[in-house]
Structure 1
């Protein structure tokens, strides 16, 4: 039987993830997921572990009011409230998208600039200012916060086990930063899914996820793998037109509650 075996949330793009036993979904996917982002102060361009691998050591926990609790070794914890949706707007760029979103203020920017060792700003995206997903996939009105392209990422546990066997050591699921992990399927079975239901929530599978150098960063230490694993191994047998694929991007069509252990049904 297929079941939901893990749930993860990443409140601040490219920071540590939270493992959850249950979570609600809203129009942008997992409630609180990737609603915050770091940008270069001068250019407004987004920052990730691709260029700043030590972001993997930054804890940004989501709270029930939508704010963040920032924590890192050697720093005092900082509570950051949600900024007002239409004040202190800052122009930012994430991939090909440009948008104006609320800035979280000087205290958060100073804290994070010291951690990153670069002048940065922390920004938040309210629902009304969310981006649309990539044209040609899904529906024209599908929305996404600060995730790379889509609201949710699903990976089968057997798929991780397969790449771990080929690399020759157990790999952490957090290297691949999924929201949902499904157990009970064959390796890469999710490649063929088009619609799934978890509990009472239905999802559309819209696009495979192309993987990058970020997968080579140890989520516990922030260090890059000297052999570029597991990316090199993935490239040896998962490279397709459009990239090296691992995991499936989803859009949720309703806003229910998810809980670890719920049954997963492949509808199409």
Structure 2
């Protein structure tokens, strides 16, 4: 497969890890990924990061997905939080302590250890997203369940999980950005969890696990930094 594989339908950035993000018309992409993406996280006194799961590195903090984060002054500044009703909170740290019922949490900027679970860029197609919707009829599904950075609109008739065909390939996005597709993400219970207007449903992860070994999207590294805009062409080279 070579040539045009789709166009950028949506660009998503998540300033605070494990919260809802902001949809952007344009973003700058560096070797770390989208500028400001997951640059902050909710951290507790033990150094664990707020998440929807418990691991050696993460601590489950229910409710984070009902919040949204954004950069009101651009990604060079500190992120702000929106409460579940979409209202900006004046003091994110104080709000998080009340909201989570913990007095040891704060917004922490990334240090020497990356906040990313895996690779810096997640890309998902409308073909795969459409398959998930069809596999779980009656369950509201959109890309927010899978938290991609880039949603690519693929041509009609594109098979689901087409992202698998891109691994090991390089793509040019727009006029300058170049990325290399490496592998897919192994999905976890985060895909099932409620967020904003999306209800909890175990059917989402169950369907992906049965059809595709719980793997979904294309994770990429950045070969050549550059801007990305909605409507940009994505071309395998």
TM-score computed with the length of structure 2 as normaliser: 0.84
CA, structure 1 residues 182+130, in 2 after alignment: closer, same or farther (shift >3 Å)? farther
Structure 1 contact 156–181 (Cα < 8 Å) conserved: yes
Instruction: After TM superposition, give the deviation of residue 12 of structure 1 in Å.
Output: 0.1
- Give the conservation status (yes or no) of the 8 Å contact 1:157–1:182: yes
CA distance in 2 between partners of 1:266 and 1:130 (Å) = 33
Query: Which residue of the partner structure matches residue 142 of structure 1?
Result: none
What TM-score comes out, normalization by structure 1 length?
0.75
Q: Give the corresponding residue for 1:232.
A: 206
* Residue of structure 2 equivalent to 1:218: 194
Paired position in structure 2 for 1:152: 121
1:90-146 superposed Cα distances (whole Å, 9 cap, x missing partner): xxxxxxxxxxxxxxxxxx433311111123122102xxx444xxxxxxxxxxxxx41
Structure with larger RCO (C-alpha < 8 A, sep 6+): 2
- 1:55 is matched with 64
1:258 aligns with 2:228: yes
Structure 2 unaligned regions, length at least 5: 54-59
Distance 1:6 1:252 in 2: 18
Residue of structure 2 in register with 1:161 after alignment: 130
Find out whether 1:31 has 2:16 as its counterpart.
no
Structure 1 gap ranges (5+): 80-107, 132-144
1:201 alignment partner in structure 2: 177
From 158, 168, 171, the equivalent of 2:141 is: 171
Closer/same/farther in 2, CA of residues 266 and 152 from structure 1, 3 Å limit: same
Query: How many pairs were matched up?
Result: 216
Mapped to 1, the partners of 2:134 and 2:226 lie a distance apart of 35
Measured in 1, the distance between the counterparts of 2:143 and 2:34 equals 18
Contact 2:68 2:81 in 1 (8 A): yes
Take 1:197 and 1:166, find their aligned partners in 2: how far apart are those partners? 31
